[in-house]
Amino acid sequence: MLRHVVDPAPPLRRDAERNRRLLLRTAYERMAVEGLDVSYEDIARAAGTGMGTVYRRFPQRQDLLDALFGEHIDTVIGFAEQAWRYEDAWAGLCWFLERQLEVESGSRGLGELLRSRHQATELVRRAHERMTPLVADLIDRAVRAGRLPAGATPADFAAVHVMVGSVMDASRAVDPRLWRRALRIALAGMRHADLSDDPPDEAVIGHLYNDPRDEGTAHDRTARRPDRRSQHQGDLLRDHAHARRLPADHPDLGGHGR
């Protein structure tokens, strides 16, 4: 009698998943310190894999960013929804901004992703679309309750987010808690500011979240990112050619090649 044995998780599949986790862990650790400009080449080198391995797992850079930060972004959306339920709208706004910045403080890359529309993925854009009306409603309620001056807008809170985030990034290595003080200063200033002049157009929010170093479009920035894919196209092709010649149990495929 023949027995048909089925392995529910073939070794190669387990190896591929292990290597995917290795790439994600390596990319997250590098981007947490250095920001989003970490290249695929740098990730591959730090993980001990080839460039082809990174591109097989994450063909587009936004695939990598969504895999790295998707859960964090969902958490921030949850904070916005929870803040919206606050009876005291001003307290809800303050709580939301602090919680969001706390999440960003754990990773420079995540902060850059949430504060730069040029670098944002579709996941981040959808997150902004969900959060913006909640924040706008909180602002309206806070103004009506006399907790914010008339004329306060979502653009003002976007400015606070960007300003405090800049302090956060500039002080990570010397005083990683300084952003909390900057946030208190900014919120206190907003609460007592004279905002009676012409409010900024809502379109300014998009400009606030754009990277001022970038003079091109989001597509141009992606093309110019230091993945240096075009410079290493030969390496990528050689990786694929090499992989086709290797047996399935070769260490380059089992340990790091997939």
Candidates 140, 137, 132, 129; CA nearest to 158 is 132
Structure confidence by residue, pLDDT tens digits, 56-75: 999 999 999 999 999 999 99
Residue 231 lies in a domain: no
Q: Quick one: 128 and 51 in the same domain?
A: no
pLDDT band for position 117 (cuts 50, 70, 90): low
Q: Is the pLDDT of residue 173 over 80?
A: yes
- Output DSSP code: residue 88: S
pTM over 0.85: no
Q: What integer best gives the mean pLDDT of the chain?
A: 80
Q: Which residues in 89-208 belong to E strands, given as ranges?
A: none
When pLDDT is averaged across residues 101-123 and rounded to a whole number, the result is 87
Chain-centroid distance of CA 228 in Å reads 21
When divided into structural domains, the chain yields a total of 2
Q: Is the pLDDT of residue 204 over 90?
A: no
| Contact in structure between 207 and 112 (CB atoms under 8 Å) | no
Question: Could you list the residue range(s) of the whole structural domain that residue 176 is in?
Answer: 60-209
| Exposure string over 107-118, b if 16+ CB within 10 A, otherwise e | bbbbbbbbbbbb
Q: Look up tokens 């091109």; give the residue.
A: 216
List the single range of 52-56, 143-147, 165-169 with lowest mean pLDDT: 52-56
pLDDT band for position 15 (cuts 50, 70, 90): confident
Q: What is the pLDDT of residue 255?
A: 40
Residue 45 lies in a domain: yes
Q: Quick one: 195 and 73 in the same domain?
A: yes
Distance CA 258, CA 256 (A): 6
How many residues make up the chain in this entry?
Answer: 258
Residue 157 lies in a domain: yes
pLDDT band for position 225 (cuts 50, 70, 90): very low
* 3-state helix vs strand vs coil in the chain, percent to 5: 70, 0, 30
When pLDDT is averaged across residues 144-158 and rounded to a whole number, the result is 93
Q: Is the pLDDT of residue 168 over 60?
A: yes
Q: Which residue has the higher pLDDT, 207 or 219?
A: 207
Distance CA 57, CA 17 (A): 10
Q: Quick one: 64 and 54 in the same domain?
A: no
Position 248: which residue type? Answer: A
Q: What is the pLDDT of residue 199?
A: 74
Chain-centroid distance of CA 26 in Å reads 15
Q: What is the pLDDT of residue 228?
A: 43
Q: Quick one: 108 and 149 in the same domain?
A: yes
Q: What is the pLDDT of residue 119?
A: 66
CATH at residue 118: 1.10.357
